A and B are shown apart, each in its own frame.
Chain A
Amino acid sequence: MGSLKIENVKKSFGPVEVLKGIDLDVKDGEFVVFVGPSGCGKSTLLRIIAGLEDASSGDVLIDGQKVTNAPPSKRGIAMVFQTYALYPHLTVRDNMSLGLKQAGTPAAEIDQRIAASSAMLSLEPYLKRRPAELSGGQRQRVAIGRALVREPKLFLFDEPLSNLDAALRVNTRLEIAQLHNRLKSTMIYVTHDQVEAMTLADRIVVLNAGRVEQVGAPMELYNKPANLFVAGFIGSPKMNFIDGARLGETAKTVGVRPEHIAVSDTAGAWKGTVIHAEHLGADTNVFLETEKAGLVTIRLFGEYQTGPGATLYATPDAARTYRFGEDGKALG
């Protein structure tokens, strides 16, 4: 219970086509992340799954049942929003129980579910407070708790960490990952942040301009990007794209990840001058202006002493370079 199937879903707002035919199969218990740049239609797709927006055409099936005409509350879903969206006039407890009360759940069961999920999220001390009396991280935990008590077939998350500061983001991410391990329920998670996608997902759906660019496990996308967009979107710092002609290749574009380039002071494939070096402790990012390949980013592990003006030789790992054709698709 908890599978999702999307068949050729399209959505237009007036003349603007935001989703251009999305097909997707999500198995029961899977953690699927939709990732893509801002404005590519992730939230719109999620809202269509939730029933908050009607698709212009196409079908959404939850557990094999067409839900096109079912209202959001009858779809067996729960949603967590970027802005928390807690009811400001209700206490944490009432925020969590409102949906169940609406559905006519017996009071004893409501109590028991709230006790279980507030224990899971350590929300007990706050049950009597109002949202205004909580910090951002606590509010988002309450929002997750509100989703949890519904015991949905499908959890939907719309950029739940985007409003949190960096430290809280890591904590909450961990909490969501643990939640999925424990509940084994199906989760759809939307984010523009590829790190969140890579760390949480069983499977990632990369969206761009209303189309699915690639679907696959995180390492599949990292190791075998289907096209330029996915290659550039997954991985940080971004993959270096070099004009194939400059390297004497037949491919239109050659891609090398910054971490797959070795450097040397004495010899290598590309000679260049360091423009800037970022020392992060665990990593050092070197920006090298090479004669042959133009500006390349190189990611070195650990500390590496260099600075602007230094001359370095860079050598890409031949086994891990990618080739892309005229149409941007990866070649063989």
Chain B
Amino acid sequence: MSKAATSLPRTIGAHAILLTYTVIALFPVIVIVVNSFKSRAAIFRSPLTLPTAETFDLVGYTTVMAQGDFIQYFQNSLTVTVASLFFVLLFGAMAAFALSEYRFKGNTIMGLYLALGIMIPIRLGTVAILQLMVASGLVNTLTALILVYTAQGLPLAVFILSEFMKQVSDDLKNAGRIDGLSEYRIFFRLVLPLVRPAMATVAVFTMIPIWNDLWFPLILAPGEATKTVTLGAQVFIGQFVTNWNAVLAALSLAILPVLVLYLFFSRQLIRGITSGAVK
């Protein structure tokens, strides 16, 4: 950072802006978590106060644990998210490598085609996807969700990763070829480690929408055995009565796994940036 940018008023200004943003972004999350530990009456009486000795109540969590199979829902969400993430990163990186490394006819067109999905929301194809899943007997399976989410995540992954892979030194790949490494080993051992920060970025951007999605679980896998957490939490929202304690508790719980995954990837991100690739 240059000297001028570190003057006191500027520092204070920058921090004020960042703090304001942090407060705005975190406020709903904190309200959810705080209220999930309060009794129903306390939630409505004073939603913004912390739980006190009288208002502290774990009824939301006990309801969630008692009703429905929430452990199962968690497992479903995790399976779907992790498996989709794995396939998006694997296939996305492989396609990106082919696009950035090999010269072939239609390379640019192929790149555009693969990136097209960034601009066209996959939900437009819901009806066709549902028909497809019905025809192939995949309704109410986690496989259906994994397939859809992999397709949904690939365009952005290919787009971002191919830009990064173009920057990996040609000399390094050529050195590997002279040493007799196969194209697979060059890809997995030389190129992937160097684009790890980009992979982490893609992972974060891919993971959050999958974890939070309500649309496809509701349409493709609403069965009890395949419900995801976000879908499972809906049972507490009724047309006339909503069990707010349970909803807030379920949402609070749903934040945890994704938070862990996020921390893991952001660690990778920072490590990738600070380790300094060798040119």
Contacts and interface: CB of A to CB of B under 8 A. Distances in A.
Interface stretch (A96-104, A202-210, A224-232, A236-244): A96-104
B178 A79 contact: yes
Contacts, number: 68
Contacts of A99: 178-180
Nearest to B174: A52
Question: What is the predominant secondary structure among interface residues of chain B facing chain A?
Answer: helix
Contact of A73 (B169, B172, B180, B193): B180
B194 to A, nearest CB: 7
Given A87-B190, A88-B278, A72 B172 contact: no
B169 A83 contact: yes
Given A87-B172, A89-B193, A131 B177 contact: no
Contact of B179 (A83, A89, A98, A158): A98
A101 to B, nearest CB: 9
B160 to A, nearest CB: 21
Contact of A102 (B180, B276, B278): B180
A102 B194 CA distance: 22
Contact of A72 (B178, B275, B279): B178
A146 B172 CA distance: 13
Interface in B163-177: 169, 171-172, 174-177
A190 interface: no
A132 B276 contact: yes
Interface of B: 169, 171-172, 174-181, 189-190, 193-194, 275-279
Interface in A97-117: 98-99, 102-103
A83 B171 contact: yes
A48 to B, nearest CB: 12
Given A83-B171, A88-B278, A52 B180 contact: no
Contacts of A131: 278
Contact of A132 (B176, B189, B278): B278
A52 B102 CA distance: 12
Contacts of B174: 47, 50, 52, 72, 79, 81, 85
Interface residues of A, number: 28
Contacts of A102: 179-181
Interface centre among B180, B189, B276 (most CB of A within 10 A): B180
A131 B276 CA distance: 11
Given A52-B174, A81-B171, A82-B171, A88 B179 contact: no
A77 interface: yes
A85 B171 contact: yes
Contact of B178 (A50, A86, A132, A139): A50
B171 A88 contact: no
A132 B275 CA distance: 9
Contact of A78 (B169, B176, B178, B276): B178
Contacts of A132: 275-276, 278
A328 interface: no
A88 B175 contact: no
B86 to A, nearest CB: 22
Contacts of B190: 87
A71 interface: yes
Give 6 closest A-B pairs by Cβ, nearest first. A73-B180, A99-B179, A85-B171, A102-B180, A81-B171, A88-B278
Contacts of A50: 174, 178
Interface string A124-157: 0000000110000001000000100000000000
B81 to A, nearest CB: 28
A175 to B, nearest CB: 20
Given A73-B179, A78-B178, A87-B175, 8 more contacts: A52-B174, A71-B180, A81-B174, A83-B172, A84-B278, A85-B175, A98-B179, A146-B179
A131 B194 CA distance: 14
Contacts of A77: 178
Contacts of B179: 73, 98-99, 102, 146
A92 to B, nearest CB: 12
Nearest to A143: B175
Contacts of A78: 178
A139 B171 CA distance: 14
Contacts of B178: 50, 52, 72-73, 77-79, 99
21 contacts: A50-B174, A52-B178, A71-B180, A72-B180, A73-B177, A73-B178, A77-B178, A81-B171, A81-B174, A82-B171, A83-B172, A84-B171, A86-B175, A88-B277, A88-B278, A89-B193, A99-B180, A102-B181, A132-B276, A146-B175, A146-B179
